[in-house]
Amino acid sequence: MDFKLLMELRHHLTIKHHVPGRIRIKFALALLADSRAQALKKDAGDSPPPFIRNTSVNLFTRMVVIEYDPDVIVPEKLHEALTTEDPARFTELAAEFEQIVSA
C-alpha cells in the first residue's frame, strides 16, 4: 500500500465511527475526481493484506467500512494516522504499517 499517497489524499477523509476492528470513513466527493485515488483503489483491491477482514464501499453515502484485525493493527494508531496533521508523525506510523504489511 502506498502510504505516502494515502497521506496526500487523507484530507478527503473523515472518520465517522471507529471501534477496534471496524472503522467507518466518509470520503469527500472530490476524492472521486482525484486521479491519484484510482491508484490507491487499485492497490488496495489487488490483494488486501490478511489482517483486513472485509471492506465495503457505498458511493451513494460516500462511506467506506473497513473491518480489520485489531490484534495486528493498533486501533489508536490507525485513528491517529488518519487524523494527525503532523507529517513526521504520519511518516512514523506509515513505517510501522509498512512493516506489518510486509511481515
Contact (Cβ atoms closer than 8 angstroms) between residue 82 and residue 48: no
**Cα separations (Å) of 97 from 42, 49, 86, 101?**
18, 11, 17, 6
* Confidence class for position 89, pLDDT limits 50, 70, 90: very high
Fold adopted by 3-102: Gyrase A; domain 2 (3.30.1360)
Q: What is the mean pLDDT of residues 26-39?
A: 86
- In tens, the pLDDT along 47-88 reads 777 888 998 889 899 999 999 999 999 999 999 999 998 989
pTM of the complete model: 0.84
Q: How confident is the model at residue 1 (pLDDT cuts 50, 70, 90)?
A: low
